[in-house]
Amino acid sequence: MSGVRVLVGTRKGAFILTADGRRDRWDISGPHFAGWEVYHLKGSPVDPDRLYASQSLAWFGQVIQRSHDGGKTWEVPGGGITMDPESLRRGESNKFAYDTSRDTGKPLTTHQWYDGTQHPWEFKRVWHLEPSLDDPDTVYAGVEDAALFRSTDGGHTWQELAGLRGHGSGPSWQPGAGGLCLHTIVPDPSDPGRIFVAISAAGAFRTDDGGRTWRPVNRGLHSQYIPNPTAEVGHCVHRIAMHPSRPGVLFMQKHWDVMRSDDAGESWREVSGNLPTDFGFVVDVHAHEPDTIYVVPIKSDSEHFPPEGKLRVYRSRTGGGEWEALTAGLPQRDCYVNVLRDAMAVDSLDPCGVYFGTTGGQVYASADAGNTWAPIVRDLPAVLSVEVQTLP
């Protein structure tokens, strides 16, 4: 029987939750990297045992970890060691980047990158890791301040896809409340040269040549709190989702508004419909029904908790516009948690499972596409990300 592996990143470590195809009993492993902020974990779609993790700590900086055995053991690519705080104190950290602009081969610290000047450009953390759809050694990293990197050797070395920051709008990008972060990376399964990214608060961008050049794809977005509400860039996009069978159809949760594009981002239209509020962070798509999408409404941009204190996932079976509240098994009173932008995922079993984590430390699962919910685990540190792998 197939199984699932749920990868959970939290403020104080990572947790790995596994179950068989029934998804009714769960084994919990962790905390991995205890005490560290783990912003994101994700597995390779072509090698279920290959996992990548982004961990950071103010004292030690940013580290990328890699596992070859589904998270049982971890190593820092290039370092050949299992990473822990003591090894970092000894200076045994992987090098995130190299000074390729001056071709010296000199390794930099994990939070510096030379951009062609005499001074390194610094970033704070890796927000999102996106393994390639066809090569376990190729992985993309979105960082803060917003930039996109790629490794083709399993995370040992990284190169910036500098055309994104080099876009003419780059100097005008401004941070959202969470920072100037590149938090979403969506490769097109039908076109290896096409990738979508989202930046808070610059907007959505697309490349059609593997990352060499980029252009904004924000037409139809409206943000009332920026100088030009319909500007080409400057929109606070929270998340983008795609169904692999229809890569030209995209769904977006913006700072306000749930949006849809039917032309690969060339234009967007609002599909918030009857949602109780159109503010939120997550959006995801059913594994087998490309017009079935999920969001978790949050009261407002200043009150990051569910409306009326009721935790509700909303599902649309029509690609947006018409929404139903999914409440069975979720707290419907006095619930004041948040669900962050990388904290929802969908497995590929039938019926598909839907998972999300909260800042209150709960991870909820539905084995029936959202009809009913139950907590897999409670009382974790605040959940930053949730990803899922379907296992053979």
pLDDT in tens, 178-190: 889 999 999 999 9
- Quickly state the pLDDT bin for 167 (edges 50, 70, 90): confident
pLDDT score of 158 more than 80: yes
Asked if residue 196 has pLDDT above 60, the reply is yes
pLDDT of 121 reads 54
What is the distance between the alpha carbons of residues 179 and 141, in angstroms, rounded to a whole number? 16
Does the pLDDT of residue 79 top 60, yes or no?
no
Encoded amino acid at 363, one letter: V
Strands 37-43 and 51-57: antiparallel
CATH number at residue 72: 2.130.10.10
- How confident is the model over 265-276, as a mean pLDDT? 98
**Neighbour tally for 111: CB within 10 Å:** 18
Separation CA 78–CA 48 (nearest Å): 21
Q: Which single residue is written with the structure tokens 């509020």? A: 277
Give yes or no for residue 56 having a pLDDT over 90: no
Which is nearest to 363 in space by CA: 15, 11, 12? Answer: 15
The residue behind tokens 């005499």 is 118
pTM here? 0.90
pLDDT band at 1 (very low <50, low <70, confident <90, very high): low
Q: Residue 118: CB partners within 8 Å, gap ≥ 6?
A: none
**Alpha-carbon gap, residue 121 to 329, rounded angstroms:** 47
> Taking phi first (over 0 means left), then psi (-120 to 50 degrees means alpha), and beta for anything else, what does residue 75 get?
beta
Question: Is the predicted pLDDT of residue 105 greater than 60, yes or no?
Answer: no
What is the Cα–Cα distance from 226 to 233, expressed in whole angstroms? 10
Instruction: Supply the range of the domain harboring residue 315.
Output: 3-391
pLDDT tens digits, 217-251: 999 999 988 888 888 899 999 999 999 999 999 99
Give the SS3 label for residue 309.
helix
| Helix H or strand E segment including 86 | helix 85-89
Greatest Cα-to-Cα distance within the chain, rounded to the nearest angstrom: 59
Distance between CA 102 and CA 106 in Å, rounded? 9
On the question of pLDDT at 34 being above 90, the answer is yes
Number of domains in the chain: 1
DSSP H helices, 2-75, are none
The Cα angle at residue 184 between residues 330 and 319, in degrees rounded to 5: 60
What pLDDT digit, counting tens, does each position of 290-330 carry? 999 999 999 999 999 999 999 999 999 999 999 999 999 99
